[in-house]
Amino acid sequence: MTLTVHQRALLPLIGLQGAVGSLGGFIGFFVMGSNDLQAILRYTAIMMTTALAVIFLTYYAGARFHLNGRRLMRLGFLIPGVLFLFCSGSVAMMAIAFGAYIGMSAGARHALEMFLLHDAERDIYAARSGTLTVMCSVAATLLATLLLAGLAEQSHYVFWLYGALSIGGAWLLGKALPDTPPVALKAPLAILRQPQFVACFPMFFLESGLFGINQAMASAGAVKALGSASQFGWVATAAGLAGGVALYFTRKNRHVHNRTRWLGGACLVVSLSFVFLGASVWLPVLYVGHSILKAAGTPFLSASQQVLTQRALDIQGALPDRIFARELVLWMLRMGSLVLFWPLAAVLSPMHLLVAGSALLAAATALQYAIGKAFFWQGAERQTA
């Protein structure tokens, strides 16, 4: 199955999203390395809240300012790109800048992909977009690492690099995308009352509800195992290459009929990576193993999650309402898990906290397979009927 002209026009922006998204790992290292675990938890909470607020504001004002998917996607790089140029050194500003990027780009991507893709097209598109995302992420990570290694680990150069990438991409890419209807909220809370949507809550929690804890544990593990941001960059680059190669050679093997098998394999690899992360407190070299396994498994897991998300949004209601309702639920789940986990930072030692958090993430990833498999089977039964 080949991609349409419009789907191909979207792919460069998806690649740019992967490149800019790699900044998140560096930010986590900068925050954790210069402060403490409390700082990374605060950063994560501010970042997630900013992302939700940005989606709400852009969708709320979408009709008034004619914000269709194409314009929102390009603004999702332009505005955060400007913020990246000035946010180095401030935890709150880094959180706001990266949260704005996540909120605007994710909100636009969901709107465009739901408009441009049918269910039968989602798997091959997810495989190809995932490959491009990983390769662009690796390239951006390598550039940032070379800057850090050559310029005395100065973090502001990294933010300038990502700011330039974001602004340049917003200026050059996305012009061939179609004019989709402006995003506009109508009755998002009505989506929360749909039984089909409520039935997805367990999947949402396992897929993304522990996002904040994941961010904090990844940063804590990196700082403990690695001595500098450039060393983190080298490890992330090597791990990303491993994941990209695996994804490239399997990009044509993903189809509707084998969704469950891909999900199971990805969950196994990513769950094992979290076991390595927890064990790295005793043997730091295992952090490298964690990075490689996570980089190898995450693209496949993300592709499965992308299809699951799009299927979850195949319900009644305006598309912007469905997208915002999902993001609202994800924010509540993420913040709820982060708030419940936060007190442990005051009770447990950093080593024990990393072990506990990694064990929780490993278990949640394994459970994600059971929930996702049931969801895929239900979808297949509805299509057969």
For the chain, which ranges sit under pLDDT 70? Answer: 1, 3, 34-35, 249-258, 376-385
Residue 328 lies in a domain: yes
SS3 185: coil
Residue 334 lies in a domain: yes
pLDDT for 384: 45
Angle 286-312/91-116 helices, nearest 10 degrees? 50
pLDDT for 317: 83
**Total tally of structural domains belonging to the chain:** 1
Asked if 146 contacts 137 with a C-beta cutoff of 8 angstroms, the reply is no
pLDDT for 381: 47
Q: How far is CA 300 from CA 43, 146, 279, 296, in A?
A: 27, 28, 24, 8
Longest pairwise C-alpha distance within the chain: 62
pLDDT for 336: 93
Q: What is the mean pLDDT of the chain?
A: 86
Residue 170 lies in a domain: yes
Kindly report the CATH number assigned to the domain that includes residue 269.
Answer: 1.20.1250.20
pLDDT for 7: 76
Residue 385 lies in a domain: no
pLDDT for 378: 59
Residue 82 lies in a domain: yes
Q: According to DSSP H, which parts of the chain are helical?
A: 5-21, 23-34, 37-60, 69-84, 91-116, 122-150, 155-172, 188-191, 195-198, 201-204, 211-225, 229-249, 259-279, 286-312, 319-341, 344-347, 350-384
pLDDT for 255: 62
Residue 2 lies in a domain: no
**Domain interval for residue 345:** 7-379
pLDDT for 266: 86
